[in-house]
Amino acid sequence: QVQLAESGGGLVQPGGSLRLSCAASGFTFSGYTMRWYRQAPGKERELVASITTFSGGTTYADSVKGRFFISRDNAKNTVYLQMNSLKPEDTAVYYCNVVLLRGYWGQGTQVTVSS
C-alpha cells in the first residue's frame, strides 16, 4: 500500500535551516508529482511546494519563494524540502502528499521556528 513517511522536523531559531525528507513506497514514485503542504495551528492546510516527475519542474507558494527548495531522488523514492531563512510564521506541521486515484498523506513532521 502507499506509504509516505516524513522526517527532519524540529525546533530551529529564526534564520536557521532544516531539510525535510519524505520516503515513499507502494507506488511508482518516479511517475508522480510530489507535494509538500503545511498546516499551522488554527489555519487551513496550504500547498508549499510541488515537483513534477522526470522534468522536475517546481512550483512554490509566494510565502516561501527564494527560501524553500523542493527536490527529489527517484532512485531513493524520496522527496526533500530544503528550508532556509526560516521565520516564526513557517511554524507548522509539514506533510508530504501524492495523488494517485486519491490523495495520500504522511503523518507529518513538526517544524517550530522560535528563539
What local confidence, expressed as pLDDT, does residue 54 receive? Answer: 72
| Residue 108 φ/ψ, nearest 5 degrees | 90, 155
Q: Is the confidence at residue 55, as pLDDT, over 80?
A: no
- Kindly report, residue by residue over 56-75, the tens digit of the pLDDT: 799 999 999 999 999 999 99
pLDDT band at 14 (very low <50, low <70, confident <90, very high): very high
Q: Is the confidence at residue 17, as pLDDT, over 90?
A: yes
Q: How far apart are CA 1 and CA 16, in angstroms?
A: 36
Task: Output the nine-digit C-alpha cell for 35.
Answer: 507535494
8-35 per-residue burial string, b: 16 or more CB within 10 A, e: under 16: bbeebeeeeebebbbbbeebebeebebb
What local confidence, expressed as pLDDT, does residue 43 receive? Answer: 96
What local confidence, expressed as pLDDT, does residue 46 receive? Answer: 97
Task: Output the nine-digit C-alpha cell for 19.
Answer: 531539510
Q: Is the confidence at residue 53, as pLDDT, over 90?
A: no
What local confidence, expressed as pLDDT, does residue 56 receive? Answer: 78
